[in-house]
Amino acid sequence: MNAQLPFVSICLLTYKRASVLPRSLDSLLAQTHGNFELIINDDRSPDETEQVCREYERRDRRIRYFRNETNLRYAGNQNAALARAKSDLVAIVHDGDVYRPDLIERWTRALMEQPSAALVFNALEAMDENGVVQRVYRNNYPPLIAGRILLAEMLLRPDSPIFGIVMVRKSCLQAVGPFDTTIPTLADVDVVAPARALRCGLY
């Protein structure tokens, strides 16, 4: 654990992924930066998600599990999770993904070193069911990029370079209001909007 790093919030968004959720939780609980709260926001899954999460919550006091009363879809679920985050540095991650043990530490350090940055994201690897890397999704962005530039590019591409792999400053999000629930499938574009509105950079 790195005591000099600040407390951060991790928001894990989940829906009907009970079978793969444990691998995500295990990788997050094994982070080198352990000073965090892990908020699991369940969008009213009809499977065994609640049972899985309750068991993890019982075993680790850093975990806080919440189940929505109604299905809010992606953007709404993201709003609900962020509202519960206690830290200004908030990682938004997804169920089923596996995270490197130093990811939260590296994200936290990046935002501490770049106070003008609204968020930080990185490349990702696509693995098969055996954990073998099949493809690496890497973006050729400079280390620090203006939010308006990335937003313009994201509006022209079918995928998202920050889908489920981002740490954002909650204060930047609050300055422009909640995620737009009328565009649930484009919520990742909405993540970048605060950086553009506040003229912050992305790292």
Q: Which residues, listed in sequence order, are joined to residue 119 by a DSSP beta bridge? A: 168, 202
pLDDT of amino acid 197: 43
pLDDT tens profile 76-117: 999 999 999 999 999 999 898 899 999 999 999 999 999 988
Report d(CA 136, CA 92) in Å as an integer.
20
Report d(CA 172, CA 72) in Å as an integer.
23
Mean pLDDT computed over 150-179: 71
Is the pTM higher than 0.95? The answer reads no
Name the amino acid, one letter, at 101. P
CATH of domain 8-202: 3.90.550.10
Instruction: List b or e across 43-54, with b for residues whose CB sees 16 or more CB atoms inside 10 angstroms.
Output: bebeeebbebbe
pLDDT tens profile 115-149: 988 888 886 666 667 677 666 666 666 566 656 65
Hey, where are the domains in the chain?
A: 8-202
> Tokens 């444990």, residue?
22
Mean pLDDT computed over 48-62: 98
Token pair in block for residue 152: 């313009």
Instruction: Give the contacts of 112 (CB within 8 A, at least 6 positions apart).
Output: 5, 6
